[in-house]
């Protein structure tokens, strides 16, 4: 029995020691699935001695829910513009005095002091892009230049569509198609959105934002809601027979920023990371890996994705950025979604 | 008809034809999935379900997977602390409930200790999420340890109490007759006797904690991803031979914990 | 007096942990279920019964309160699938437990070990195994095609059946063990006596064996049914997220749906279902006896 006690004390000692030495050089990052180049993580850890733990999510709603539970223990997260606004309103973000950070000088002028963070206190823009849909060209030969094909499928697409699992980008897409204002508080207009999605539902094979690349590249579904850069790198890296559609009604625009949750316990490490990621060399590596447009300056001579080989991130379709909806409008969005998935 | 047959015990009567077949089918059902996982973990093909050839490479890549090793460390630390806390609390409660005299509200106390068994786990998970968010506890490890300690208590309690009920208290009585103080009696007599029960209870808590998904998934935060939560995230990303290798390694580990535990429980009966 | 205080100190930690980490959180859930929801998650400390009316009624697009059966359907599906899981487990477990009890001592030990072993393997891994077997181009589909039994078929995954297989697989050891325990206690001379009196095998099973095994059967039913009610993993991985169960619905309210008070009211509802069920069963059998 005594030896048992000794062993347990030893074990406690070891795990306490393991926990203690890691306290100050930690950084917990919560980011979009497969968004940060593992090479960069490795490089950051060797250069700064800060240890990163990386968890991932696939929707802004997931991120908001995690932060809202008040005890998520993350240090850097990557919400899109309208969620930055909501999170600031809800008091979920730390004022990191972004405009005086080294990273801010590297931000492209067009993304400074935007409506979601007018005084540039909370956020450093990271990457931007669009949400649209991708078609598998082996299975689907029809046109892909309108949201019509996605919401009112014909031919091979019937019954073989996959849609994002959360309403954040799919409802704005439906609004573009029907010509309804984003974040409308008009219940009758939202009813039209609901009816469109309801009609589409019988052709939806799955509502999912996980594991999209294998589902669309393998042809398990022929159309999938997706993001521009993700679609492009699957096309380039895996030589997949896919095409990112250019709907004439418009693509749904987003910009992800790096922000620090209010409860972060490693704020200095978080700022170090944000500055480091924005450095031109690292931002270029990230651009080549993630394939979304960079919101900070990159080294064009090393950039793999140029306008001539990257129609996805240099779209011909117009782009409309999502907004932060009022609580009344948000309620309507949630109502459409809960009624749709019942 | 042979007269003597009437006087023999009728062994045939207790036999139900077909039950054996169900038994064999059942064990195939139970072990087929496990065999599938193990077999395909050696598949050299990236696509799990299409066999290409034998290979160890997924084990090599699993053992170098940093996310996996981190998750393993988190799970192990949480399970260790939760087990120690739960076993200590459960041992004290079991001693009182089966050895204490004039215990008031014994039935109620028993129900309180076993409370986690009565609730579907999701109820506990969301309740504790709200509690932590109200208290503003940030530390992910602390949250996991607290939650796991609570739901491991009955799993530690049951084997210990079974052990206590299975042995009479003559020895303890004798020791007390010889003027041993309660503390000495406990340390010299009771504790060694119930040690196998405590060991079994601790092992059971450890496994329950290591395996927990529902609660850990809901309360986990940065730097506190447990092994099942990590595996779940891999499953969501799709099937892969590396995932099979990871699962096989976990099964081997479970086997190594379960077998001695089983043997000890058998011997102590 | 001294004894009493020892009793007190021995039970104190258990009471403390259980009241702080189980009872208090449940009370908070109960409280939150009567508060109004906040569109971005969390709750507002304003009394409201909305989260309860929401279970049955919803506002239509013209803001009229109308009866809405969607959540009732999920609750009914949860009850049905859980009951079906428990019944299927029972139908398989009884013959298996009986079969094991007729074996030699060594064989018995071995078989019981084999029954418990999967229980020690992580639940996520066990469910993952079924994803592997049932998925598109998975083991089962390829196997059946190899033997020429099927042509091109739809995925075997993402339906109620797949979910049930997963649930039965997860919970069946919890059914076999208590039934086995009660069969072991059974006096085989009773069966022989029945047979000597020319009772048919079916009759003996129905009149003698099953009634005597009832405590074990009831305990097994509780042990399978109650956790099934809160199933989360199987619907997510095997049900494809399209067919929800109560556990997922609750989890979603605290996740992407961000409606804590509704989640809390559903939790209270689930708790009531479990309590009613347990009270109903407690009349017939002493639960605690069976748990040990």
Q: Kindly report the three-state secondary structure assignment for every residue of C203-234.
A: HHHHHHHHHHCHHHHHHHHHHHHHHHHCCCHH
Residue ranges, chain A, pLDDT below 70: 1-23, 71
Check whether residue A140 and residue A230 sit in a common domain: yes
Does C246 or A3 have the greater pLDDT score? C246
Residue B73: is its pLDDT beyond 70? Answer: yes
pTM > 0.80: yes
Task: Report CB contact under 8 Å: A71, B225.
Answer: no
Task: Report CB contact under 8 Å: A211, B80.
Answer: no
Q: Give the pLDDT confidence score for residue C140 in this predicted structure.
A: 81
Mutate to test the interface with C, among B107, B127, B207 (most CBs of C within 10 A): B127
Domain boundaries for CATH 1.10.3720.10 within chain B: 60-268
Query: Which residues in C lie closer than 8 A to residue B146 (C-beta atoms)?
Result: 21
Check whether residue A87 and residue A159 sit in a common domain: no
Check whether residue A105 and residue A87 sit in a common domain: yes
Do strands A51-57 and A26-32 pair parallel, antiparallel, or not at all (unpaired)?
Answer: parallel
Check whether residue A267 and residue A328 sit in a common domain: no
Q: Give the pLDDT confidence score for residue B117 in this predicted structure.
A: 85
CATH class of B60-268: mainly alpha
Query: Which residues in C lie closer than 8 A to residue A68 (C-beta atoms)?
Result: 40-42, 258
Q: Is B102 exposed, middle or buried (0-12, 13-18, 19+ CB in 10 A)?
A: exposed
**Distance from the B92 Cα atom to the nearest Cα atom in chain C, whole angstroms:** 5
The span from the CA of B12 to the CA of B17, in Å, is 10
Does B21 or B268 have the greater pLDDT score? B21
Q: Where are the domains of chain C?
A: 24-67+260-277, 69-190+216-253
Look at residues C238, C231, C240, C184 and name the one whose alpha carbon lies nearest to residue C212: C184
The span from the CA of B158 to the CA of C289, in Å, is 11
Tell me the HSE value of C42 on the side-chain side, using a 13 A CA sphere. Answer: 17
Q: Give the pLDDT confidence score for residue A136 in this predicted structure.
A: 94
The span from the CA of A109 to the CA of A127, in Å, is 14
- The answer to whether A96 and A260 are in contact (CB under 8 A) is yes
Query: Which residues in A lie closer than 8 A to residue C61 (C-beta atoms)?
Result: 187-188, 190-191, 194
Confidence of residue B1 (pLDDT cuts 50, 70, 90): very low
Residue A12 lies in a domain: no
- The answer to whether B231 and C124 are in contact (CB under 8 A) is yes
Residue A205 lies in a domain: yes
Closest CB to B80: pick one of A15, A72, A73. A15
- Count CB-CB contacts under 10 A for residue B3: 6
Check whether residue A214 and residue A278 sit in a common domain: no
Task: Report CB contact under 8 Å: C40, A190.
Answer: no
Q: Give the pLDDT confidence score for residue A238 in this predicted structure.
A: 85
Residue A164 lies in a domain: yes
Residue of B nearest to C91 (CA): B22
Confidence of residue B265 (pLDDT cuts 50, 70, 90): low
Check whether residue A321 and residue A193 sit in a common domain: yes
Query: Which residues in A lie closer than 8 A to residue B223 (C-beta atoms)?
Result: 26, 28, 53, 73
Helix (H) or strand (E) holding A243: strand A242-244
For residue A4, give Cα distances in angstroms to A9, B75, B199, B264, C200. 9, 21, 10, 16, 57
Tell me the pLDDT of chain B averaged across its residues: 84
The span from the CA of C287 to the CA of C277, in Å, is 12
- The answer to whether C37 and C49 are in contact (CB under 8 A) is no
- The answer to whether B42 and B109 are in contact (CB under 8 A) is no
Q: Give the pLDDT confidence score for residue C284 in this predicted structure.
A: 64
Confidence of residue C1 (pLDDT cuts 50, 70, 90): very low
The span from the CA of C98 to the CA of C94, in Å, is 6
Task: Report CB contact under 8 Å: A73, B70.
Answer: no
Q: Give the pLDDT confidence score for residue C287 in this predicted structure.
A: 46
Does B244 or C5 have the greater pLDDT score? B244
Task: Report CB contact under 8 Å: B237, A55.
Answer: no
Task: Report CB contact under 8 Å: A211, B221.
Answer: no
Residue of A nearest to B83 (CA): A8
Tokens of A82: 């309208």
CATH code of A194's domain: 3.40.190.10
Check whether residue A68 and residue A192 sit in a common domain: no
pLDDT tens track for B207-252:
889 989 999 998 887 778 899 999 998 888 777 788 889 889 888 8
Check whether residue A218 and residue A323 sit in a common domain: yes
Total domains in the fold of chain A: 2
Task: Please compute the mean of the pLDDT values over residues C58-68 and round it to a whole number.
Answer: 82
CATH of domain C69-190+216-253: 1.10.3720.10
Closest CB to B133: pick one of A8, A11, A70. A70
pLDDT tens track for A132-166:
999 999 999 999 999 999 999 999 999 899 999 89
Residue A145 lies in a domain: yes
Query: Which residues in B lie closer than 8 A to residue A29 (C-beta atoms)?
Result: 222
Check whether residue A102 and residue A137 sit in a common domain: no
Tell me which of B52-56, C52-56, C103-107, C192-196 is least confident. C192-196
Look at residues A276, A266, A257, A305 and name the one whose alpha carbon lies nearest to residue A31: A257
**Neighbour-count burial for B128-148, b at 16+ CB within 10 Å, e otherwise:** bbbbbbeeebbbbbbbbbbbb
* The length of chain C, given as a count of residues: 292
Q: The complex's ipTM?
A: 0.86
Range of the domain at A205: 129-253+312-340
SS3 A52: strand
First to last CA, chain B: 45
Query: Which residues in B lie closer than 8 A to residue A28 (C-beta atoms)?
Result: 221-223
Query: Which residues in B lie closer than 8 A to residue A75 (C-beta atoms)?
Result: 222
The span from the CA of B124 to the CA of C249, in Å, is 15
For residue A217, give Cα distances in angstroms to A213, A221, A232, B75. 6, 9, 12, 35
- Asked if B136 is an interface residue toward chain A (Cβ–Cβ < 8 A), one would say yes
Tell me which of B239-248, B259-268, C194-203, C248-257 is least confident. B259-268
**Distance from the A61 Cα atom to the nearest Cα atom in chain C, whole angstroms:** 5
Query: Which residues in C lie closer than 8 A to residue A187 (C-beta atoms)?
Result: 61-63
For residue B45, give Cα distances in angstroms to B49, B61, B68. 8, 14, 21
Do strands A161-163 and A223-227 pair parallel, antiparallel, or not at all (unpaired)?
Answer: parallel
C229 phi-psi bin (left φ>0, alpha ψ -120 to 50, beta other): alpha
Q: Give the pLDDT confidence score for residue A95 in this predicted structure.
A: 96
Query: Which residues in A lie closer than 8 A to residue C259 (C-beta atoms)?
Result: 334
Check whether residue A176 and residue A216 sit in a common domain: yes
Task: Report CB contact under 8 Å: C230, B123.
Answer: yes
Residue A9 lies in a domain: no
A interface with C, Cβ–Cβ below 8 Å = 59, 61-62, 64-65, 68-70, 86, 90, 165-166, 187-188, 190-191, 194, 206-208, 220, 327, 330-331, 334-335, 338-339, 341-342
Task: Please compute the mean of the pLDDT values over residues C95-103 and round it to a whole number.
Answer: 90
Task: Report CB contact under 8 Å: C270, B49.
Answer: no
First to last CA, chain C: 30
pLDDT tens track for B127-183:
999 999 888 888 889 999 999 999 999 999 988 988 888 777 787 788 878 888 878
Supply angle C-alpha C92, C93, C95, rounded to 5: 80
Mutate to test the interface with B, among A6, A53, A66 (most CBs of B within 10 A): A53
**Distance from the A265 Cα atom to the nearest Cα atom in chain B, whole angstroms:** 9
């Amino acid at each position: 029995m005594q030896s048992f006690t000794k062993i347990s004390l030893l074990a406690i000692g070891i795990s306490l020691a393991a926990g203690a030495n890691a306290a100050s050089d930690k950084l917990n990052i919560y980011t979009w699935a497969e968004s940060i180049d593992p090479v960069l993580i490795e490089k950051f850890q060797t250069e700064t001695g800060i240890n990163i733990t990386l968890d991932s999510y696939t929707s802004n709603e997931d991120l908001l829910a995690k932060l809202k539970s008040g005890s998520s223990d993350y240090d850097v997260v990557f919400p899109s513009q309208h969620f930055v606004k909501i999170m600031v309103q809800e008091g979920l973000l730390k004022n990191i005095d972004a405009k005086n950070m080294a990273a801010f000088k590297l931000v492209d002028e067009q993304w400074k002091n935007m409506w979601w963070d007018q005084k540039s206190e909370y956020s450093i823009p990271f990457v931007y892009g669009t949400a649209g849909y991708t078609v598998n060209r082996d299975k689907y030969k029809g046109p892909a230049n309108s949201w019509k094909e996605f919401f009112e499928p014909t031919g091979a697409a019937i019954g073989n569509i996959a849609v994002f699992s959360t309403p954040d980008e799919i409802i704005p897409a439906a609004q573009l198609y029907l010509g309804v204002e984003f974040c409308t508080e008009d219940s009758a207009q939202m009813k039209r959105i609901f009816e469109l999605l309801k009609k589409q539902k019988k052709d939806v094979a799955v509502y999912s934002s996980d594991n999209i690349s294998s589902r669309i590249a393998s042809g398990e579904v022929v159309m999938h809601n997706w993001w521009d850069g993700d679609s492009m790198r699957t096309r380039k890296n895996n030589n997949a027979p896919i095409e990112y559609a250019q709907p004439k009604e418009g693509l749904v625009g987003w910009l992800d920023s790096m922000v620090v949750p209010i409860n972060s316990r490693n704020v200095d490490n978080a700022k170090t990371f944000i500055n480091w990621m924005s450095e031109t060399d690292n931002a270029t590596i990230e651009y080549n890996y993630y394939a979304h447009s960079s919101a900070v300056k990159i080294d064009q001579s090393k950039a793999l994705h140029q306008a001539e080989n990257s129609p996805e991130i240099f779209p011909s379709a117009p782009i409309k950025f999502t907004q932060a909806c009022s609580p009344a409008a948000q309620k309507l969005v949630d109502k459409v979604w809960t009624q749709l998935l019942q | 008809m042979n007269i003597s047959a009437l006087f023999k015990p009728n062994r045939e009567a207790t036999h139900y034809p077909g039950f054996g077949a169900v038994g064999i089918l059942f064990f195939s059902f139970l072990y087929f999935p496990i065999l599938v996982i193990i077999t395909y973990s050696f598949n050299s093909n990236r696509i799990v379900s299409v066999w290409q050839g034998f290979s160890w490479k997924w084990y090599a890549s699993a053992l170098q997977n940093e996310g996996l090793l981190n998750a393993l460390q988190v799970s192990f630390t949480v399970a260790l602390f939760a087990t120690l806390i739960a076993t200590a609390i459960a041992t004290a409660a079991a001693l009182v409930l089966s050895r204490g005299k004039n215990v008031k509200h014994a039935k109620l106390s028993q129900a309180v200790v076993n409370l986690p068994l009565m609730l579907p786990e999701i109820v506990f998970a969301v309740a504790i999420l709200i509690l932590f968010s109200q208290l503003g506890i940030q530390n992910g490890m602390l949250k996991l340890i607290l939650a796991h300690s609570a739901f491991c208590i009955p799993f530690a309690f049951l084997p210990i109490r079974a052990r206590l009920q299975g042995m009479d208290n003559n020895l303890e009585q004798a020791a007390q007759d010889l003027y041993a103080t309660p503390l000495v009696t406990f340390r010299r007599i009771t504790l060694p006797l119930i040690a196998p029960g405590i060991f079994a209870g601790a092992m059971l808590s450890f496994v329950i904690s290591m395996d927990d998904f529902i609660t850990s998934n809901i309360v986990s935060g940065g730097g506190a991803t447990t092994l099942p939560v990590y595996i779940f995230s891999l499953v969501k990303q799709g099937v892969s031979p590396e995932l099979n290798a990871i699962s096989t390694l976990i099964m081997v580990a479970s086997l190594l914990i379960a077998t001695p535990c089983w043997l000890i429980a058998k011997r102590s009966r | 007096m001294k004894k009493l205080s020892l009793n007190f100190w021995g039970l104190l930690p258990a009471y403390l942990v259980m009241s702080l980490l189980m009872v208090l959180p449940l009370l908070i859930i109960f409280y939150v279920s009567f508060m109004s929801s906040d569109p971005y998650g969390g709750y507002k400390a304003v009394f409201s019964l909305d989260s309860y009316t929401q279970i049955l009624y919803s506002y239509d697009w013209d803001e009229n309160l109308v009866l809405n059966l969607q959540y009732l359907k999920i609750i009914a599906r949860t009850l049905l699938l859980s009951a079906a899981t428990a019944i299927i487990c029972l139908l398989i477990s009884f013959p298996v437990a009986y079969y094991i009890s007729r074996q030699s001592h060594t064989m018995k030990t071995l078989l019981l070990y084999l029954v418990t072993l999967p229980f020690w393997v992580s639940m996520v891994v066990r469910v993952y195994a079924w994803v592997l077997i049932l998925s598109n181009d998975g083991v089962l589909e390829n196997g059946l095609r190899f033997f020429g039994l099927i042509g091109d078929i739809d995925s075997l995954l993402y339906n109620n059946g797949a979910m049930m297989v997963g649930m039965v697989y997860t919970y069946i050891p919890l059914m076999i063990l208590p039934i086995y325990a009660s069969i072991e206690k059974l006096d085989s001379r009773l069966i022989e006596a029945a047979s000597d009196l020319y009772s048919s095998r079916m009759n003996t099973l129905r009149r003698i064996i099953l009634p005597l095994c009832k405590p074990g059967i009831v305990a097994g039913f509780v042990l399978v049914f109650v956790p099934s009610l809160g199933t989360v993993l199987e619907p997510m991985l095997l049900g494809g997220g399209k067919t929800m169960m109560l556990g997922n619905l609750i989890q979603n309210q605290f996740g992407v749906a961000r409606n804590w008070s509704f989640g809390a009211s559903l939790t209270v509802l689930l708790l009531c279902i479990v309590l009613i069920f347990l009270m109903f069963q407690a009349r017939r059998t002493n639960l605690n006896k069976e748990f040990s």
